[in-house]
Structure 1
Amino acid sequence: MRSPVLAGIDGSGCAAAAADWAAREAALRGVPLRLLHASPPLPGSVVPGPALDRLHRMGTRLLQRTAADLADRYPDLRVECEQADDAPAGALLTAARAAGLLVVGTRGTGGFEGLAVGSVALRTAAAAPCPVVFVPPRPRAFAEESPTAHSTGQVVLGFDAHRPVGEVADFAFSAAGARAVRLHVVQAWAFPAESVSSRTLVVTEEDRATWEDEEVLRLSDALRPWREKYPQVTIGADVMLLHPAEALLNASRSAGLLVVGRRTEPRSAEGRLGPVSHAVLHHTRCPVAVVPHSG
């Protein structure tokens, strides 16, 4: 059996949106949905047995309500429930080892009004062994109640033709193909370092056009293996003379999913969330997929 889609819930509206997104994704993939609720005692506190029992009962009721609601909307979906006594981030990272995809809200009940991304989301973004999708409170696309809602909204892929990353590209192409939507590939570029110096104060339009044409050709060549691998995917590719984060945020304004990468450390499944991924997580309005890779 293929690996399930894992979703963390905590009773917050953002987590509920993430669970719904995860249910649609699991139905699309034809795999089970696994709901996880973590309710650890406060650090350093001694919680009496009856209080612990109440915490577990509250978690059980939340899981049951969520599972029943999703089962009503997705009757063919198999939903599994699990409780954990660990801290939420640790529990999700442990469970993600057996998952094909982890889906979380960008912030949960521990956040505050105006907080864009909570600590659990940031921790899983940097350390999850599988791809993670972060769902904002009101994602711009996929918000309908219909199980076919995943078929609207293009997928945006942040791509670097100078250093193509197979895992990230495969995830984006596969997502666009499964949803039968357009894939918008975005490559940001900058003027060559030698173009700005004490002797070159102005970049001519001719030079700019030449460099841009080179980037377009490089991007086209780099995408050729994936065009051949996913012939059913309609692709639009753009090179943008912008900072990568700004280019992706502009492109994702009407997107249903934005896909970026996270490089893992050679001797560890963990890694560092780069500045571009960090920026889009904090500022985009659509779901963001962070795909770990070793390249």
Structure 2
Amino acid sequence: MNHPVLAGIDGSACSSAAAAWAAREAELRGVRLRLVHASPPLPGSAVPVTAVDRLHHMGERMLRPEVADLIGRHPDLEVWGEQADDAPAAALLAAACRAGLLVIGTRGAGGFDGLAVGSVALRMAAAAPCPVVLVPQRAVDSFGAERLGTGGAAQVVLGFDAHHPVSEAADFAFSAAEARGAPLRVVQAWAFPAESVSAETLVVTEEDRATWEDQEVLQLSDALRAWQEKYPQVTVRTDVMLLQPAEALLATSRGADLLVVGRRTDPQAAEGRLGPVTHAVLHHSRCPVAVVPHTD
């Protein structure tokens, strides 16, 4: 927990909200906050020195008030800002290797109206070596950067699959709920067994449905026992829902402080890839979403 919280800054309202969220998280963790602004050189083989200097000057003008504002609101928090000469995605991936958490807005300054999640945010969610929290534009529009994530009655929501658990995501969610003094709602989606729905089986009886649901509830309870023992102060509510996973998570995370999902890494891919559930959640969530990588 000594690694700093990292936030990407590009001058957009969404990145400012992400920095504000990151500052509160760094304060909860008792670690430093590191703001990174990428000022890559202009394309071309011979970039004038004056152009590079101008880009760095613009970056400094962006970083300085952001750092001062966060220190003013969090006087006990150590905040520092820095510029990188790489493209934003490359700069953040490199910095994330030395961070405990990366926080980024889902839509940057280069986005267009109607864009939910930008390319940099998607790449961070899929490839960053540390957990990534993506702050959506919808959250900024609904709550404003100042109030985002400050609701005392809110909760942390964890998307969980007891059949294939991502332990890092569970640990992240329990820890986040404990730090906030918030309840944790664990959501598991389920479906009827494939063999129960066929041309020969036109009706699923209530007895069968109840039996399958009881099995899911029991398996979820067993899977969560270790974390409930590790975090006894966290109040846990479990929901086993007969819905598509993304639909279940989006429905239960309305008004939440944070939605936590796991990300499994494809060992055959050069970079991680987001699954369809995480992809859908990032595009439609109204609260910040933490994507936590699973390490085998």
The TM-score with structure 1 as length reference comes to 0.95
Q: How does 1:66-77 map to 2 (within 5 A)?
A: 66-77=66-77
Partner of 1:57: 57
Once the two structures are TM-superposed, the CA of residue 150 in structure 1 deviates from its matched residue by 6.6
Q: Render the CA deviation track for 1:258-286: whole Å, top value 9, x for unaligned.
A: 00011123478831111100000000000
Once the two structures are TM-superposed, the CA of residue 157 in structure 1 deviates from its matched residue by 0.2
Q: Which moved more, 1:264-273 or 1:144-153?
A: 144-153
CA distance in 1, matches of 2:119, 2:149: 32
Tell me the secondary structure at the aligned position of residue 285 of structure 1: coil
Partner of 2:98: 98
Partner of 1:108: 108
CA distance in 2, matches of 1:2, 1:174: 15
Partner of 2:170: 169
Does the aligned pair in 2 maintain the 1:142–1:150 contact within 8 Å?
Answer: no
Does the aligned pair in 2 maintain the 1:129–1:270 contact within 8 Å?
Answer: no
Partner of 2:242: 241
Q: Render the CA deviation track for 1:20-54: whole Å, top value 9, x for unaligned.
A: 00001001111000000001134347432111111
Does the aligned pair in 2 maintain the 1:152–1:256 contact within 8 Å?
Answer: no
**Residue 80 (1) aligns with residue 80 (2):** yes
Does the aligned pair in 2 maintain the 1:187–1:240 contact within 8 Å?
Answer: yes
**Residue 271 (1) aligns with residue 281 (2):** no
Give the unaligned 5+ runs of structure 1: none
Tell me the secondary structure at the aligned position of residue 212 of structure 1: helix
Partner of 1:30: 30
Once the two structures are TM-superposed, the CA of residue 139 in structure 1 deviates from its matched residue by 2.1
CA distance in 2, matches of 1:232, 1:225: 13
CA distance in 1, matches of 2:149, 2:282: 25
Tell me the secondary structure at the aligned position of residue 37 of structure 2: strand
Does the aligned pair in 1 maintain the 2:17–2:145 contact within 8 Å?
Answer: no
Q: 1:167 to 1:260 in 2, by over 3 A?
A: same
Q: How does 1:1-295 map to 2 (within 5 A)?
A: 2-44=2-44, 46-139=46-139, 145=146, 149=150, 151-266=152-267, 270-295=271-296
Does the aligned pair in 1 maintain the 2:116–2:137 contact within 8 Å?
Answer: no
Tell me the secondary structure at the aligned position of residue 273 of structure 2: coil
CA distance in 1, matches of 2:154, 2:233: 17
Q: Render the CA deviation track for 1:130-179: whole Å, top value 9, x for unaligned.
A: 00000012527985747992754200000011122211100000000000
Letter in 2 for 1:101: L
CA distance in 2, matches of 1:138, 1:65: 24
Does the aligned pair in 2 maintain the 1:74–1:147 contact within 8 Å?
Answer: no
Tell me the secondary structure at the aligned position of residue 149 of structure 1: coil
Tell me the secondary structure at the aligned position of residue 213 of structure 1: helix
Does the aligned pair in 1 maintain the 2:3–2:99 contact within 8 Å?
Answer: yes
Q: Which moved more, 1:227-236 or 1:146-155?
A: 146-155
CA distance in 2, matches of 1:65, 1:253: 32
Letter in 1 for 2:192: F
Does the aligned pair in 1 maintain the 2:264–2:293 contact within 8 Å?
Answer: yes
Letter in 1 for 2:206: E
Letter in 1 for 2:51: A
Does the aligned pair in 1 maintain the 2:3–2:100 contact within 8 Å?
Answer: yes
Letter in 2 for 1:158: G
CA distance in 2, matches of 1:267, 1:4: 30
Letter in 1 for 2:24: R
